[in-house]
Amino acid sequence: MLFYLAERAGVTKPALNFVQRLRAQCKKLAELPGTLGRPREEIRPGIRSFAYRGYVILFRYEDDGVCIIRIIEGHRDIDALMKG
């Protein structure tokens, strides 16, 4: 969907670059388990969050890496989105 919208808006290259940087950040979360992000127990047990360029990455550490739960625009009501 992201690629479709980016293509229609004529900004495919910037969108792809952003997605690549976002994926690289998620990979860093996996490479440094327990060191990045802050606990967000009020959302769900084991959930952590990490702010990245106006977005919030919600994730949890697992035995074999990291599980990205959701990526949300930073201005959104995270608590409300995660309860629904």
Quick one: pLDDT band at residue 39, thresholds 50, 70, 90?
A: very high
Q: What is the pTM of this model?
A: 0.77
Question: Which residue, among 62, 53, 48, has the nearest Cα to 23 in the 3D structure?
Answer: 53
Report the C-alpha gap between 60 and 66 in whole angstroms: 6
pLDDT value of position 5: 57
The total domain count for the chain is 1
Whether 31 maps to a domain, the answer reads no
**CA neighbours within 13 Å on the CB side: how many for 25?**
20
Domain of 68? Answer: 36-83
Whether 30 maps to a domain, the answer reads no
What size, in residues, is the chain? 84
Whether 11 maps to a domain, the answer reads no
pLDDT value of position 14: 75
